[in-house]
Amino acid sequence: MVTTTRPPEPAPAAAPDEPRRKLNARPLQGAIGVVALIAILELLSRVGIMSPRLLPPPSQVATDLVLLLGNREFLSDVGSTLTAWAIGLALASVIGVTAGLVLGSLRWVYEGSRALIEFLRPIPAVALVPLAILVFGQGVTMKFMLVLYAALWPILLNTLYGARELDPTARETARTFRLTWWDTLTRVFLPHAAPFAFTGIRISAAIALIVAVSAELLAGTPTGLGSFILEVQSGGGSTSQVFAGTIVAGVLGVLVNASLKRVESWIFAWRKEERA
């Protein structure tokens, strides 16, 4: 008697919508976590476990936040911070991308400046605040120069890395067609290093915002979001206003990063197609 074994039935394939449902569930889970944290903080403050002077109720922070968003002076402070951030980041992008391409395309220039880069790069921008105040004063120029210094390094190093990773065949092709150094830089190195450079810009955008607010806090500038937080804290103002100003800084950072991510995915959509 011959016995036949029945082949195992294939496992049911996952529905194509299942990964999409998981992605859609993540924002909901994150929102639930935030709401739960706010409820716990509200409870701790209201029952007296935490002093309202140290941990104000989130409801009071939300109220002060709404009032601040309607305050022209506060919005002017936010605008001052964003102005220094934008100017510093724009200058850092132009200088960093240009220098990164030059260093990545000319090895002798890179070797000659490597020691200087390795010396300056680890110096934190906030450590230069006293020197910046001495040279530039306490105005917008001091802030965007510090932002420029802090934002420069991720952009420069990412661009440099992208340029040095260029396929040698592309270089030989440019030589075969007798392209000038400038044409090779703009038509061969730049397109290859552009995704790396934009990643550096996105990283530097968050660093630049942190440095701008920190410079305002440490230097006591006349205007700025950090100046507002320092003035409220040192003037014996409401702690909830300090938290509200800090939340604005955090939200600005999230919005900047999300916006740049969208721009990056739109400009470099071809990279996803290559990987697919």
Give the closest residue to 170 by CA, choosing from 188, 182, 185, 183: 188
Q: Which domain holds residue 228?
A: 55-275
Distance CA 155, CA 147 (A): 13
Q: Tell me if 126 is assigned to some domain.
A: yes
pLDDT surpassing 80 at residue 25: no
Q: Tell me if 11 is assigned to some domain.
A: no
Q: Tell me if 42 is assigned to some domain.
A: no
Q: Tell me if 9 is assigned to some domain.
A: no
Say whether 209 sits in a helix, a strand or coil: helix
pLDDT band at 1 (very low <50, low <70, confident <90, very high): very low
Strands (E), the chain: none
Number of domains in the chain: 1
The angle, 0 to 180 degrees and rounded to 10, between the axes of the packed helices 190-219 and 225-234 is: 20
Average the pLDDT over 18-37 and give the result.
68
pLDDT band at 213 (very low <50, low <70, confident <90, very high): very high
Pull the structure tokens for residue 266.
Answer: 């739109």
